A and B are shown apart, each in its own frame.
Chain A
Amino acid sequence: MASKPRIKLPKSAAAGEVITIKTLISHTMESGQRKDKEGNPIPRQIINTFTCEFEGAKVFECELDPAISANPYFEFNAKVEESGTFKFTWVDDDGSVYETEQDITVS
Chain B
Amino acid sequence: MTIRMKNRGALIATAACVAMAVMAGAVQAEPVDDSLTIDGEPITVRASAPEGLPFDENLSGWLYRSAETRQLETDTFENPGMLAVERGEEIWNTVDGTAGKSCASCHNDAAETMKGVGASYPKWDADSARPINVELQINKCREENMGAEAYKFDAPEQKELTAFIKHQSLGMPVKLDLDQGDLQEWWERGKDLYYLRTGQLNLACASCHEKNNGNFIRADHLSQGQVNGFPTYRLKTGLTSVHNRFKGCIRDTRAVIPTPFSDDLMALETYVTWRGTNLAVETPAVRQ
Contact = CB atoms under 8 A, between A and B. Distances in A.
Are A and B interaction partners? yes
Interface of A: 3-4, 6, 8, 22, 24, 26, 70-71, 73
A61 B86 CA distance: 26
A4 B77 contact: no
Contacts of A3: 83, 86-87
A57 B77 CA distance: 26
Contacts of A4: 86
A4 B87 CA distance: 9
A24 B77 CA distance: 8
Interface residues of B, number: 8
B258 interface: no
B238 A6 contact: no
18 contacts: A3-B83, A3-B87, A6-B77, A6-B82, A6-B83, A6-B86, A22-B77, A22-B78, A24-B77, A24-B80, A24-B83, A26-B83, A26-B87, A70-B80, A70-B238, A71-B80, A71-B83, A73-B78
A24 B82 CA distance: 10
Contacts of B82: 6
Interface in B75-95: 77-78, 80, 82-83, 86-87
B38 to A, nearest CB: 15
Contacts of B77: 6, 8, 22, 24
The 9 closest A-B pairs by CB, nearest first: A26-B83, A71-B80, A8-B77, A22-B77, A3-B87, A71-B83, A6-B77, A24-B83, A70-B238
Contacts of B87: 3, 26
A30 B270 CA distance: 36
Contact of B78 (A24, A26, A70): A24
Contacts of A70: 80, 238
A73 B87 CA distance: 17
A73 B80 CA distance: 9
A107 B178 CA distance: 57
Contacts of A24: 77-78, 80, 83
Given A6-B86, A71-B83, 6 more contacts: A4-B86, A8-B77, A22-B78, A26-B83, A70-B80, A73-B78
Interface in B220-241: 238
Contacts of B83: 3, 6, 24, 26, 71
Nearest to B238: A70
Nearest to B72: A73
Nearest to B84: A26
A6 B77 CA distance: 8
Nearest to A25: B83
A3 B156 CA distance: 13
B88 to A, nearest CB: 11
A75 B97 CA distance: 41
B158 to A, nearest CB: 17
A3 B84 CA distance: 10
Contacts of B238: 70
A22 to B, nearest CB: 6
B74 to A, nearest CB: 13
A6 B83 CA distance: 8
Contacts of A71: 80, 83
B93 to A, nearest CB: 13
Interface string B188-225: 00000000000000000000000000000000000000
